[in-house]
A = this chain, B = another copy of it.
Amino acid sequence: MNCKMRGVWAALAVLPGIAAAAPAPTPVEIVAAAPAGAWSTIPAGQLMLVDLGGASHRRVTIQLAPDFAPVHVANIRRLIAARAFEHTGVARVQDDYVVQWGDATRPPPAGLVAHPPAEYERTLRGLAVTPLPMPDAYAPAVGFALGWPVGIDRAAGSAWLAHCYGMVGVGRDMPPDTGSGAELYAVIGQAPRQLDRNIALVGRIIDGIDALDTLPRGSAALGFYAQASERTPILRVRLASELPPGERPQWQVMRTGTPAFSAYVQARANRRDPFYVRPAGGVDLCNVPLPVRRMNF
């Protein structure tokens, strides 16, 4: 823990381009005004499209994170190609915690790595990190890297994805190498950061999370549904790259190393909208939703 964090933060209080004049721009205004160069297009091969049946018939869009969990993401791509998620369902909805879908009991498709390595953290080497100079209850340091919220241990030279709202991980049994990717979960509540470095995170929901978050909670242990009939069916799962070019959704995520992103974080930490009588002066890692935008409709 760096005891000078608040000092570092204070030094960021006035960023280039963010004048101190009132009224200061809100986080939403900063995102709206961010230049094109502040945005990065998510490759179509990293967009996982989950089409739900049930009452909503909604689509959930997931951005995959091959830079953090390459073996697991490769597995998920194999599972998508084999249509292994289709005609499974959402089997678990635990309030303020996670939803879970898929079926790890099906025969695995060819090439699936049944026991992937525990990709719970990665090396800091080659990773450009934008630190968030705030204390954190779970990690020695926190920040953002490649558009993701991360915990950081500089002494150990490692970084890991953080269990913030919307993050997607790989369900597993007790042994750490037992999650193939055939069952996935998403965080729908207060960030369960105790799971960091205990399970592989592989992406995050960038659109449609409310289609999962509004599902009825399961009444059995851990929020599993007591009856299979309660499960919301999963009709179709594709990578955007599998679709004809004209049908591919295009999404951009804000680059976390840009002045626009720093201004956004700073505004999240020091809200100066007229509503606020006392800006917090700080912000939790998981209270900085990574800005995304859809580029076609």
* A contact set with B: CB distance below 8 Å: 1, 3, 5-6, 95-96, 118, 120, 134-138, 164-166, 174, 176, 189-194, 196-198, 209-210, 213-217, 268-269, 271, 274-287, 289
Q: Choose among B1, B190, B277 the residue that contacts A198 (Cβ–Cβ < 8 A).
A: B277
Closest B residue, CB atoms, query A142: B137
Q: CA separation between A274 and B276, bound complex, in Å?
A: 44
Q: Choose among B138, B214, B275 the residue that contacts A214 (Cβ–Cβ < 8 A).
A: B214
Closest CB in chain B relative to A158 CB, distance in Å: 12
Q: CA separation between A166 and B275, bound complex, in Å?
A: 22
Judge whether B280 and A193 touch: CB under 8 Å.
yes
Judge whether B6 and A283 touch: CB under 8 Å.
no
Judge whether A209 and B268 touch: CB under 8 Å.
no
Judge whether A190 and B287 touch: CB under 8 Å.
yes
Judge whether B280 and A210 touch: CB under 8 Å.
no
Judge whether B136 and A137 touch: CB under 8 Å.
yes
Q: CA separation between A194 and B266, bound complex, in Å?
A: 12
Judge whether B136 and A197 touch: CB under 8 Å.
no
Chain B neighbourhood of A193, CB < 8 A: 280, 284, 287
Closest B residue, CB atoms, query A56: B216
Q: CA separation between A135 and B135, bound complex, in Å?
A: 6
Closest CB in chain B relative to A76 CB, distance in Å: 21
Chain B neighbourhood of A269, CB < 8 A: 194
Chain B neighbourhood of A285, CB < 8 A: 137
Chain B neighbourhood of A271, CB < 8 A: 194
Judge whether A136 and B135 touch: CB under 8 Å.
yes
Q: Choose among B1, B120, B194 the residue that contacts A135 (Cβ–Cβ < 8 A).
A: B1
Closest B residue, CB atoms, query A271: B194
Given contacts A95-B213, A138-B280, 7 further A-B contacts (CB under 8 A): A1-B3, A134-B137, A137-B282, A191-B287, A194-B269, A213-B214, A214-B214
Closest B residue, CB atoms, query A151: B280
7 contacts between A and B (CB under 8 A): A136-B282, A137-B283, A190-B284, A191-B287, A198-B275, A198-B276, A214-B215
Judge whether A284 and B95 touch: CB under 8 Å.
no
Q: CA separation between A217 and B210, bound complex, in Å?
A: 7
Q: CA separation between A214 and B278, bound complex, in Å?
A: 31
Closest B residue, CB atoms, query A140: B6
Closest CB in chain B relative to A215 CB, distance in Å: 7
Closest CB in chain B relative to A292 CB, distance in Å: 14
Closest CB in chain B relative to A280 CB, distance in Å: 5
Judge whether A287 and B217 touch: CB under 8 Å.
no
Judge whether B209 and A174 touch: CB under 8 Å.
no
Chain B neighbourhood of A287, CB < 8 A: 137, 190-194
Q: CA separation between A276 and B195, bound complex, in Å?
A: 8
Judge whether A138 and B282 touch: CB under 8 Å.
yes
Closest CB in chain B relative to A209 CB, distance in Å: 7
